[in-house]
Structure 1
Amino acid sequence: MSDDRSLPRTERLRSLGAVRRLFESGESGFVFPFRYVWFAEADSVPSVEVLFSVPKKFHKRANRRNLLRRRTKEAYRLQKGIVRCGAPVNLDLALIYSSKEALPYKTIAHAVRRILETIAERL
């Protein structure tokens, strides 16, 4: 009964080995306010796993970090179809919020869309 727009646990990047591989050999870029890192490999069973991060360095208070993480997750959840329709690959993606201001949802959603479109073009 999983909806296409849900974000189940299986779509979250949480394996330590996968995270290490992502940051060691992945490609990165920057679309304000996100730094993003992605790693793709061809596979017969395509999957997309994503990691969301809001560093404590810029936002000391947990409630602010949680708010920004929620906004990012929501923006990704609603637009993840952009990277789904493409070549059958295993895609790991990390979205790292790197602005000192808490930006509105609309700005975050636009940035996430641009990141996903950029990655979809490269696949």
Structure 2
Amino acid sequence: MHTFKKEERLCNKRFIDGLFHSGSSFLCYPFRVSWQLAPAEQAYPVQVLFSVGKKRYKRAVDRNLLKRLMREAYRLNKQTLLYQQLTGADKRILLSIGYIGKELADYAFIEKKMQKLLNQLAGEATK
């Protein structure tokens, strides 16, 4: 039920370029979200990419920690907050979640903001 498989990760360079050049985006502090309707048929409703800027977090340990927390919060909440709405509307999306916060946040804060982000995204994507 709460899995995060390879097929759910966004790895295709062409899709990533298209996402950042022609996708929609919004801010849900401490996240910057870019999304786009998927051009091809895919196995999962969402393909997602997580990023943390090297400019703000010099140490790889900190970047990896933030990405791990983001992935975990996403993995636990995607089914109820995002997948059900997208499946109901029969839509597939590409998604990028970038961390732009100034400080290392704890898991409780990241999870609360991730839930808000997923609700907002579900609303925008199913319009």
TM-score scaled by length of structure 1: 0.91
Shift of 1:100: 2.0
Number of residue pairs matched by the alignment: 120
Asked whether the 8 Å contact 1:75–1:109 carries over to 2, the reply is yes
Q: CA RMSD in A?
A: 1.6
Distance in 2 separating the partners of 1:42 and 1:12: 16
Range moving further from structure 2, 38-47 or 83-92: 38-47
* Aligned counterpart, 2:115: 113
1:78 matched to which residue of 2? 76
Task: Describe the superposition over 1:61-117 as per-residue Cα deviations: whole angstroms up to 9, x where unpaired.
Answer: 011111000000000000111111121112111010001200111111111111110
- Specify every segment of 5 or more residues in structure 1 that has no aligned partner in the other structure, as ranges: none
**Alpha-carbon distance change, 44 to 88 in structure 1, aligned in 2, over 3 angstroms:** farther
Aligned counterparts of 2:34 and 2:67: Cα–Cα separation in 1: 16
Confirm whether residue 28 of structure 1 aligns to residue 25 of structure 2. yes
Larger helix fraction of residues: 2
Which region of structure 1 is more displaced relative to structure 2, 33-42 or 92-101?
Answer: 33-42
Identity of aligned residues (%): 36
Aligned pairs for 1:50-69 within 5 A = 50-69=48-67
1:1-56, Cα deviation, whole Å (9 max, x unpaired) = xxx21100000001001101111111111111111101124877652100000110
**Consecutive aligned runs of 4 or more in structure 1 exceeding 6 Å deviation:** none
Paired AA for residue 89 in structure 1: K
